A and B are shown apart, each in its own frame.
Chain A
Amino acid sequence: MKKPVGVTHILAIVIVIVGLMLPLFAETFTVQLATKGMYLGVLAMSLILLAGYADMISLAQMSFALIAGYVIGIGVMDYGISHVILVPLAIVAATLLAMVFGLIAIRAQKIYFLMMTLALSQLFYGIAMQWVSMTRGYPGICGIKRPFIFGYSLLEATPLYYLTLVVTALCYVLLRRLVHSPFGLTLQGIRDNPRRMAALGFNVQLHRYIAIVISGTFAGIAGVLIVYFTGVAAPSRANLPASVLVLMAALVGGASILEGGLLGGLLIAFLMSIASQLTTRYWSIIGVLFVLTVMFMPNGLLGGDLPIGNWIRKFLERIAPLIGISSSRLTAGRNSNDHLDWK
């Protein structure tokens, strides 16, 4: 109850208002950047479900996203299937891949889990590269047709932005309910003390496995958004730097709480954009930031490492009663151990 920021409710309101209004005052470029930030946020949240709530840092999230992209790309371009069928199919494909990866990776823990997911995602990348007859190899499937929703083409920035906003909000609400459900609490119990949970009769490995699968589902949802944003399903979307970006988003925002993923996703999207305008060496900047984050801010912006996080929390606690939210709700619904246990 002491350290982390409990800004969730107010942050949510501010984000929803700004989010709904953004296309009205921002340039198309900014809207697109925000779209990118949001799907990165969904990916980061799917990672945080594992990293923050189950102590399993995965580098395979982009593989789940990419397979969803391939399902849509191949379905639309090669078979002309409707998006209405393809989207659920894509998410199912991501879930199935997560089931397969999970079966292997579940045998490992902590750094071994990280390594295992790294190896699996690289193998998936290799398959995407080599299976040319299916995936078209390195260039991938380009120019994937975007559908219309209520008569608006998703090729346009604003409709896609609103779709992404709705999906992201939905993912957040679902994930939030999940981590506060009995399942989520059990998961956190397992993170903190797997032996005790096993002794209490919980099936530790099954809970871990389900977490991986659910995480894969959400990464798949993000994958659908990515395809609608870029129109491309190519192996490079799932290479290691792409996965590192997701991890980076989670770490910067705060890998111990879902909100950290959203914040991190937006921050990283804007940061990448600014950095790539300034220099072609933006990966170096990302890498240096990564190093600095790990060294000086391992719990992320919302994890309570920086005084600024506490300032925001204090400020919000003070203004909370003014807008009709009791300040006790600011701290409600938080788990007692919000920090990644690095040991």
Chain B
Amino acid sequence: MSAEITSFLIKVFNGLTFGGLLFQIAIGFTLIFGLMRIVNLAHGAFYLLGAYVAWTVQNEGGSWPIAIAAGTAAVAITALLAYFLVRRVKGDLPQNLLSLGIGIVVADLCLWYWTGVPRTIDPPELIRQPVTVAGFTYPGYRIFVLVTAAVLGIGLWLLFKYTQLGRIIRAGVDNRLMVSALGINIDRIFTLVFVLGGILIGFSGAIGGSFLSFGPGKDWEVLTFAIVVVIIGGLGSVAGSAVGALIVGLVDSFGRSYFSELAIFLLSGTILVVLAFRPQGLFGRKEQ
């Protein structure tokens, strides 16, 4: 294989795998928004917490899967606690601002406990090994992230399509008042979805902790990525998140190699173009 094709392929794969991580990051965000109209601005802080807890468990001698599970569980519990606060205020904006405050506190407490040193989590040898297909070698962990994202996406799709909970959530996205009028405890569903969002972002933090190094400031970066992905893909849409994540991943990968210093202009440009033609995002529905 010629060097040019190889380097091009590497850029494509870098974009795709980064997109995989972005999808994992964005999915919980978009899920919570879709049902509850809450823009969870603590999302980035939750990611950070998931990564940190996983890192600690691994450093205390826990195996990698246990570390991932611990990170996920920690964020799920935090999300539950956060939701008890969030549900106490009424209206979209106060809830968003509240989550922003929670995010600040969580991120600051993380900084306190884990200090400011950037860290990474070591994945096990098995998935870290480079994969070689037809003379093309690529880091195994990045492939693993992409596969995980695909599994998560399909799993969620099945959940929404074929389970009772999924049907209720889909109905709730369309009309929450009607769902509660039908005798379904929408409050419980809301709590469940918020925690599910927490589980997803905690998991992606623990997984992403081996993909990108994490430390203070990563929280806002992750939140921004989640927002950019859903702005492009359309808020509240799982398919939109997938497409948005891939677009952002690819733009980022190619931008970095061709424009280096100004890669972020390219990303801004992408948002501009999408918004110019579809203000509600590629898969978003028009809000009235």
Chain A residues near B (Cβ < 8 Å): 57, 104, 107-112, 114-116, 118-120, 122-123, 126-127, 130-133, 239-241, 244, 247, 251, 280-281, 283-284, 286-291, 294-295, 298, 340, 342-343
Contacts and interface: CB of A to CB of B under 8 A. Distances in A.
Contact of B272 (A104, A280, A340): A104
Contact of B96 (A114, A280, A343): A114
Given A57-B93, A118-B224, A342-B94, A108 B100 contact: no
B37 A286 contact: no
A283 B109 CA distance: 9
Contacts of B112: 280-281, 284
B98 A126 contact: no
Interface string B99-110: 011111101110
B145 interface: no
A289 B104 CA distance: 11
| Contact residues on B (Cβ < 8 Å of other chain), bracket | 35 or more
Nearest to B90: A342
Interface in B72-100: 85, 88-94, 96-98, 100
A290 B100 contact: yes
Contacts of B102: 287, 291
Contacts of A114: 39, 93, 96
B287 interface: yes
B101 A294 contact: yes
Contacts of A284: 104-105, 108-109, 112
Nearest to B33: A111
B4 interface: no
B227 A342 contact: no
Interface in B102-135: 102-105, 107-109, 111-112
Chain B binding surface, main DSSP class: helix
Contacts of B279: 107-108
Contacts of A342: 90-94
Nearest to B217: A239
Nearest to A288: B105
Nearest to A298: B94
Interface of B: 37, 39, 41, 85, 88-94, 96-98, 100-105, 107-109, 111-112, 217, 220-221, 223-224, 227-228, 231, 235, 261-265, 267-268, 271-272, 275, 279, 287
A291 B98 contact: yes
Pairs of residues from A and B, 6 with the lowest C-beta to C-beta distance, nearest first: A287-B104, A290-B101, A287-B105, A342-B91, A291-B101, A122-B224
Contacts of A104: 271-272, 275
A130 to B, nearest CB: 5
A51 to B, nearest CB: 9
A144 B213 CA distance: 33
A288 B105 CA distance: 7
Contacts of A247: 97, 100
Given A239-B220, A343-B92, 20 more contacts: A108-B279, A110-B93, A114-B93, A115-B231, A123-B268, A127-B265, A130-B263, A130-B264, A131-B261, A239-B217, A241-B220, A244-B100, A281-B112, A287-B105, A290-B104, A291-B102, A295-B88, A295-B98, A342-B91, A342-B92
A88 B100 CA distance: 34
A291 B90 CA distance: 13
Contacts of A126: 224, 264, 267
B98 A119 contact: no
Contacts of B98: 291, 294-295
A119 B224 contact: yes
23 contacts: A111-B39, A114-B39, A115-B231, A119-B224, A119-B227, A122-B220, A123-B267, A123-B271, A126-B224, A126-B264, A127-B268, A281-B112, A283-B104, A283-B105, A287-B101, A287-B102, A287-B105, A287-B108, A291-B105, A295-B98, A298-B89, A342-B93, A342-B94
